[in-house]
Amino acid sequence: MPSPSCIYPERLMTTHDPYCPIRLVGCKSLAGDSAFAPAQTRADPVHHFLFQLRTRMKKTLRYSLAVLALAVSGIGSAQTLLNASYDVAREFYKDYNTAFIAHYKKTTGKDVKVDQAHAGSSAQARAVNDGLDADVVTMNTTTDIDFLAGTGVVAKDWAKRFPNNASPTSSTMLFLTRNGNPKNIKDWDDLVKPGVQVIVVNPKTGGNGRMAYLAAWGSVRKKGGSDAQAAEFVGKLYKNVPVLAKGGRDATTIFLQRNIGDVLITFESEVLSVDKEFGAGKVDAVYPSSSIVAENPVAIVERTVAKKGTGDLAKAYLDYLYSDEAQEIAAKHAIRPYSAAILKKYAATFKPIQLFKAEEYFGSFAQAQKVHFDDGGQFDKLYTVK
């Protein structure tokens, strides 16, 4: 019988004892049971014991390596989901992602990684349309998702895929003034007074800006004014705008870091973000007499999930936004939850305000987009770039 080949030939050349453990460790015959051991080994109880011990150790090592390989493989195969979202939602989704990852692991046993991309809502929509491989979009106006539906990136019936017109949360527009409100700003009419500088997002680049514009226009209509009177009012307001911000967070930076403006029109949730980032007491929150309901719609990016095979994960991610845990997280970030029970629970966070929907004065967001924000629309007629 030929001697077994070994992985340590240099050691075999200097080893004369046929029972030497070094030789036995290197033998391919150790992959089998002890019946394949040399006759001398089987005859000697001590060496036979050593042979069996090393055989078992080798099998254990192989098993451990196999388990490790599976673990590494599992880590490497964890699916990654990208959420393209609007500017001022980053803190909310940071906390929500942590909760969702834990929930998904608990219910499926699978690991998942969630990445975030934030900018002005319309800028995000264009980025996704141009090829950003987001699995889901979570916006602050329906028009941005309608745009993606129009190009085939999301489903045509996206608003019917999830409850409440695919809007798990909402917000509204209010004012942030300097601490102490030195210009005594209380309502929309105060924004058109001489000497008042208003910081607002460009409605061409962000849903934050479109909501501010529509809220201002609607405030006139809410008081019984006509569209002509609303157009006159909004024109005066934008004459008090020294610079248009690209997105909600950019507007906050202009207002607080660059110290431009007397009042910032932004989402209700930005109050908490400002307190956390810049310290409490930097701004006063002013609730106007009326404002608009700003729904936060969500959708699956069909183009991406078809390519990545993440359709089920994307649906689970958006479904969980309607869970009590997610609704609580939203409320803690001053984002109005869809759940009436949780909204009531956080009544102290959401001050009373007369809210109106876009449908009341604009027909729909799609119609508002066409009339007011498309190139050559009402906004272009009212605002001249400084």
Q: What is the pLDDT of residues 59-101, one digit of tens each?
A: 666 655 554 554 444 444 689 999 999 988 999 999 999 999 9
User: Cβ distance 128 to 134 under 8 Å?
Assistant: yes
124 or 4, greater pLDDT: 124
Q: Does 173-292+353-382 match 78-169+297-332 at the fold level?
A: yes
Q: Give the pLDDT score at 148.
A: 97
Which residues are CB-contacts of 103 (< 8 A; sequence separation ≥ 6)? 320, 323, 325
Select the CATH number that applies to the domain covering 173-292+353-382 from these four: 3.40.50.2000, 3.40.140.10, 2.120.10.30, 3.40.190.10.
3.40.190.10
Q: How many CA atoms lie within 13 A of 154 on its CB side?
A: 31
DSSP 6: B
Q: Which distant-in-sequence residues (6+ apart) come within 8 Å of 296 by Cβ?
A: 86, 89, 138, 139, 140, 167, 168, 169, 170, 171, 335
pLDDT of residue 51: 60
What is the model's pLDDT at position 46?
A: 58
Closest to 178 measured CA to CA, from 198, 200, 206: 198
CATH architecture of 78-169+297-332: 3-Layer(aba) Sandwich (3.40)
Structural domain boundaries in the chain = 9-74, 78-169+297-332, 173-292+353-382
pLDDT digits (tens, 9 = 90+) for 269-294: 888 888 888 888 899 999 999 999 99
